[in-house]
Amino acid sequence: MKKIILKILSFYKKIPYLGHSSCKFVPTCSEYTAEAVQKYGSVKGLFLGIKRIIRCNPFNKGGVDLVK
Amino acid sequence: MNILIAPFINALIGLYHLFGNFGWAVIAVTVIIRLLLIPLVLPTLKSSKKMMLLQPKIKKIQEEFKNDKKALAAAQMELYKKEGINPLSGCLPQIAQIAVLIIFFSAFNMVVNYSMGKGSLDAVNKNLIPAFQLKQDYKMNLTFLGSDLTKSPSQIYKSGVNVIGLLLPLILLIGSAVLQFFSSKLMMPATKTDQLVVEKVTKDKEDDMMAMMRTQSLYMMPAMTLFIGWGFNLGILLYWFMNSLVMLLQQLAVEKKPMVK
């Protein structure tokens, strides 16, 4: 499961798609999710990733936001 | 009434009544959606341009702080600040765009299903304002430039129509793929110079691999479009084609403007 999620994330990053440069955070949402999944497993990792994407909206200032 | 689908289906049927042709209605709705999305797409286009030019510098920083994630993030942020990269929209609106696409598909399919005799008239009318509602036994005009919008290229091919009948399906299908290819290409024109800088910074084989994968990904999306589009009905392909066309035009418009630092 963990491997599949990480594969999908790395595949996503390779797609030439404009959305990639719209992320307001460092590391980007996909990098963050990959790291969270590696650290906390697929369920909690994905949950943290979704929370991060919700934070990544026009009303957030963005900035450095690492996996805790 | 479905609150999500209603705006789309009203726009589709309303414009259909206006033009008397579903194909033009699809084109108009597509262009309207893309125009409404400009505030989201434009900042992204601009920041992606800057980001692309920064790639060599980012690579350098990544090499420098290989083992310290915190310092790497801070240094990267510093670089973005210095270069004035501020993606206004964020990731959530990007995902919202995909949701818009899915809702448009369901609105479109609702109309197509009804006109193929699969869905009920009530299902469609429930979502429409009174002025746009369709009468019982009303036959919608779903042909566009001589092709049936509810059929897929593969169905048209199998039904054995002549070359002229296959012309529009093929133009839409191959056209979408070609437009996407140029879109992708515009997003990564710096490949060559990028590679040279990378070679200077790190003489890794990994970078060669990455450059190769990037070239592959250039062909991946168009190939996927051809493969999947073959089985999609022409109405969706028409949307796809127009969407790619407007996208490419937007990219070209941003490209032409002088870069503001």
Quick one: closest CA in B to A20, which residue? B48
The model's pTM is 0.78
Can you give the residue ranges of every domain in chain B? 6-256
pLDDT score of A34: 93
Residue in B87, B188, B217 nearest the CB of A24: B87
> Are the beta carbons of B93 and A58 separated by less than 8 Å?
yes
Q: Which of B33-42, B83-92, B175-184, B207-216 has the lowest mean pLDDT?
A: B207-216
Q: How confident is the model at residue A38 (pLDDT cuts 50, 70, 90)?
A: very high
Question: Which residue of B80, B92, B212, B217 is the best one to mutate when testing the A interface, meaning the one whose CB has the most A CBs within 10 A?
Answer: B92
Element of type H or E holding B143: strand B143-144
Determine the residue of chain A that is closest to B39 in CA distance: A58
Categorize the per-residue pLDDT at A17 as very low, low, confident or very high, splitting at 50, 70 and 90. Answer: low
Identify the CA nearest to B182 among candidates B234, B219, B228: B219
Q: Count of A–B CB contacts within 8 Å? A: 84
Say if the Cβ atoms of B51 and A66 lie within 8 Å: no
Which residues in chain B are closer than 8 Å to A51, comparing Cβ atoms? none
Judged against a pLDDT cut of 90, whether residue A43 lies above it is answered with yes
> Which of A10, A12, A22, A53 to mutate to test binding with chain B, by most B CBs within 10 Å of its CB?
A22
Report residue B39 as tokens: 């505030």
Give chain B's mean pLDDT: 80
Distance of alpha carbon B131 from alpha carbon B258, whole angstroms: 47
DSSP string, A9-68: HHHHHHS--GGGGG--EES-HHHHHHHHHHHH-HHHHHHHHHHHHHH-STTS--EE----
Q: End-to-end alpha-carbon separation of chain A, Å?
A: 22
From CA B13, how far away is CA B112, in angstroms rounded?
Answer: 12
Residues B64 and B50: their CA atoms lie apart, in Å, by 21
| Residues from chain A contacting residue B88 (CB–CB below 8 Å) | 58
3-class state of residue B126 by DSSP:
coil
Per-residue pLDDT band for B206 (boundaries 50, 70, 90) equals low
pLDDT over 50 (residue A32): yes
- Band (pLDDT 50/70/90 cuts) for residue B193 is very low
**Structure tokens belonging to residue B175:** 């056209």
Higher pLDDT, B190 or B92: B92
Q: Residue A16 pLDDT > 80, yes or no?
A: no
**B77 at A interface, C-beta within 8 A:** yes
* pLDDT band, very low/low/confident/very high, at B58 (cuts 50, 70, 90): confident
For residue A56, the chain B residue with the least C-alpha distance is B90
Which pLDDT score, from 0 to 100, does residue A41 have?
92
Lowest mean pLDDT among A26-30, B136-140, B187-191, B223-227: B187-191
DSSP string computed for B147-167: EETTS-HHHHHHTT--HHHHH
Report residue B259's pLDDT band, with 50, 70 and 90 as the boundaries: low
Q: Inter-chain contact B91–A66, Cβ cutoff 8 Å? A: no
* ipTM of the complex in this document: 0.84
Q: Is the pLDDT of residue B199 over 80?
A: no
Q: Is the pLDDT of residue B194 over 50?
A: no
Alpha-helical segments (H) within B84-204: 91-115, 121-125, 153-158, 163-187, 191-201
Residue B27 neighbours by CB under 8 Å, 6+ apart: B238, B242
**pLDDT of B133-163, one tens digit each?**
887 777 778 888 878 888 888 888 888 777 7
Share of chain B above pLDDT 90, in %: 10
Q: Tell me which chain A residues have a C-beta less than 8 angstroms from the C-beta of B189.
A: none
Report yes or no: B224 at the A interface, CB cutoff 8 Å: no
State the smallest CA–CA distance between residue B184 and chain A in angstroms.
6
pLDDT of residue B261: 42
What pLDDT was estimated at residue B43?
Answer: 78
